[in-house]
Chains A and B, each alone.
Chain A
Amino acid sequence: MILPPPSAPEAAEKWEVQLRKGSLDLAILCALWEGPLYGLEILRNLESGSDLVVVEGTVYPLLTRLRTLGLVDAEWVESDSGHPRKYYRLTDAGRQRALSMARIWTRFAASMTSLLAPLSHNPTPHEVAGGKS
């Protein structure tokens, strides 16, 4: 059975979701760059420092995965709130990974910006055709 193709906005939305998912590792590593944070602080950091509004249930498994990969360390710390909190900090490997990912990201973003330049300056062929009629 051939499914009907998704509408343009729907397809773009799905693409954006995948793009954000793929960026979340780097975003978390960047959030931890300045120092240790616990889960909710990481979430708030992502929300305030970007428009990456994250489903909270996504971040904790991802933090566990980053820990398994040796990119972050975690330790439980007693807090004034009455319950302990699990703080995450970047390991040396995590810092190296964040730097190399940031380099790739910057290069990639520059290439894409260059490719996208015509879209912001010129009307689409469709618009041109519409204007002539």
Chain B
Amino acid sequence: MTYTAASQKAIDDYLATLRRQLRDLMDEDVRDIVEEIHAHILDKTSGDPSPEKIASALGALGSPQQLALRYHTDELLERAQLSRSPGLLLRSIVRGASLGLGGLTVFMLSGVGYCLGGVIFVMGLLKAFLPKRAGLNIDYSPGHSLSAGFGAGSGPHAGHDPIGLWLIPICLLLGGGILFLTFRFSLWTLRFFTRPRRGPEPVALED
């Protein structure tokens, strides 16, 4: 079966756009998806490779952008929900961020939560392994000014370390708690992204 040059170009263009739109996914998955859609188009037009039939087959699939979006939202979110992987969760939130202002806000809040929780948690670990060099240092200067330092450095030689080793459980619990809450928040927002959206996206099923 042979296609006219215009028909072949229409198919190639569709698949190339789909491949570009799926570039966030793993290469192997993208190849698999594009090959399957290609096979579908060939099957649909096997008896009649006319330009009209090609256009009809491509139209029935929806635009490559819409098709790619369905793959992204369906597959990526499903994987994230299944694996509970923070990395996949973050990718999903990033995907959500591209879908609107609400998604962007969630992305920023999640980023802040992960960073804050991570820093505090690491601080607890540092205090455990480098107790002389890490801690909450309160420095009473001669002018009665008060400064507080929190982090790993030369140590509390110029001031006091009022919390001492209590910093370890406090940081581990607080940091872990923030990380956990951020994680739960991310999971919860996934439901928001998986909800059917209004707008230009056409309904998935029609009469």
Contacts and interface: CB of A to CB of B under 8 A. Distances in A.
B139 interface: no
Contacts of B67: 57, 60-61
Contact of B78 (A68, A76, A82, A86): A68
Contacts of A40: 40, 43-44
A75 to B, nearest CB: 11
B204 A85 contact: no
**Which size bracket describes the interface of A in this complex?**
20 to 34
A80 to B, nearest CB: 11
Contacts of A82: 1, 42
A95 interface: no
Contacts of A39: 36, 39-40
A84 B40 contact: no
Interface string A55-68: 11110111011001
B37 interface: yes
B163 interface: no
B44 A68 contact: no
B162 interface: no
Contacts of B28: none
A125 B79 CA distance: 50
B146 interface: no
A79 B42 CA distance: 12
B24 to A, nearest CB: 14
B40 A60 contact: yes
- Among A20, A21, A55, A84, max chain B CB count under 10 A is at A55
Given A24-B205, A54-B205, A61 B75 contact: yes
A83 interface: yes
B53 to A, nearest CB: 14
Nearest to B71: A61
Contacts of B42: 81-83
Interface of B: 1, 32-33, 35-40, 42-44, 46, 60-62, 66-67, 70-71, 74-75, 78-79, 82, 196, 202-207
19 contacts: A17-B203, A20-B205, A52-B205, A55-B60, A55-B62, A55-B203, A57-B70, A58-B205, A60-B37, A60-B40, A60-B67, A64-B74, A64-B75, A65-B78, A68-B75, A69-B78, A69-B82, A81-B42, A83-B39
Given A81-B42, A83-B42, 17 more contacts: A18-B196, A21-B196, A21-B203, A24-B205, A38-B43, A40-B44, A55-B204, A60-B71, A61-B67, A61-B70, A61-B71, A65-B75, A68-B78, A68-B79, A76-B35, A82-B1, A85-B39
